Amino acid sequence: MGDKNYSMKEAMMFSQRVAQLSKALWKSVEKDWQQWIKPFDLNINEHHILWIAYHLNGASISDVAKFGVMHVSTAFNFSKKLEERGYLKFSKKESDKRNTYIKLTEEGEGILLALMESYEPDKNAVFSGAMPLKELYGKFPDIIEIMAIVRNIYGDDFMEIFEKSFSNIDNKFTDEDGTLKKIDPVEKEYA
């Protein structure tokens, strides 16, 4: 075994525990996600691309693939479908003709904002499953250990974008009567 500070049994049990829990959690997340976006005629990849385009504001297809944890061809093909529906605009930069960039159109931003406003926590199994922890500890789980594992797999860039999207929501949205609403930049200036 050499210099390893773990046993083979310990390693296999950890890997399988994570695999089985991840599969069970993903099944629930996938179902919740599909139910949420179904009325907007989007699939998970399309919604994820809109989300990334919104938070990166001019992402390359490579960025979408990296941060969406999908193959470049998947990112391109679903982005193309979103462009055909009028939700995204493709472009090239003068300084970078090799990469294709996407940006949300007004219609694309509108559908993403409408999706955010339509979110219903009570219809989300993962949220409901975490509620007893919130009630017990006064906050939702930080999931810091999972974030550390993901950081070690995908790197700091991935986690920076991950955190940026949630920082954007925290800073640019408000909860009005139980609905998530984008803060009007003019209103924010006077606040």
What does the alpha-carbon distance between residue 32 and residue 168 come to, in Å, rounded to a whole number?
23
| pTM reported for the whole predicted model | 0.86
pLDDT of residue 3: 81
Closest CA to 181 of 117, 100, 89, 85: 117
Q: Who contacts 158 (Cβ-Cβ below 8 Å, separation ≥6)? A: 66, 67, 150, 151
The pLDDT of residue 136 is 96
pLDDT of residue 187: 53
Cα torsion through 129, 134, 139, 143, rounded to 10: -30
The parts of the chain modelled with pLDDT lower than 50 are 1, 190
Looking at residue 13, its pLDDT comes to 95
**CA torsion, ordered 96, 168, 148, 30, to nearest 10 deg:** -90
Q: Tell me, what's the pLDDT at 72?
A: 96
**Cα radius of gyration rounded to whole Å, the chain:** 19
Q: What is the pLDDT of residue 2?
A: 62
- 30-190: CATH architecture: Orthogonal Bundle (1.10)
Q: Note the Cα 128 to chain centre separation in Å.
A: 19
